Amino acid sequence: MFLNHAPEQVLIEVLNLHELWDPFKTKVWARAHAGEEMQDPEFYPKAELLFPSGESLPKAWIDPHYRANVPMPEHLSAAAATG
């Protein structure tokens, strides 16, 4: 998968997609696509990555507690209370 590394304004190829999707991982192993020669892979902070369209990564990919502040639907909270 190709993403944009915002600070360098360069396209990178993520080499391990599991690192990208895992919200507990803060960096991904990737290779920059700049210049004519193949670049060596290195770690890139996920906080600095964007989709090529300019959109940020989904919160579920970067925040392990992304559901902590999501209120439970009323019908589920009532069922849990009567449990």
Q: Which two tokens stand for residue 77?
A: 């909270």
Say if residues 33 and 11 touch (Cβ distance below 8 Å): yes
Q: What is the pLDDT of residues 15-68, one digit of tens each?
A: 999 999 999 999 999 999 988 888 899 999 999 999 999 999 999 999 998 878
Domain range enclosing 41: 2-82
**Number of domains comprising the chain:** 1
Position 77 scores a pLDDT of 60
- For residue 81, pLDDT over 70 is answered with no
- For residue 83, pLDDT over 60 is answered with no
Say if residues 27 and 16 touch (Cβ distance below 8 Å): no
Sheet holding 27-33, edge to edge: 42-45, 27-33, 10-14, 2-5, 49-50
Position 74 scores a pLDDT of 74
Position 22 scores a pLDDT of 96
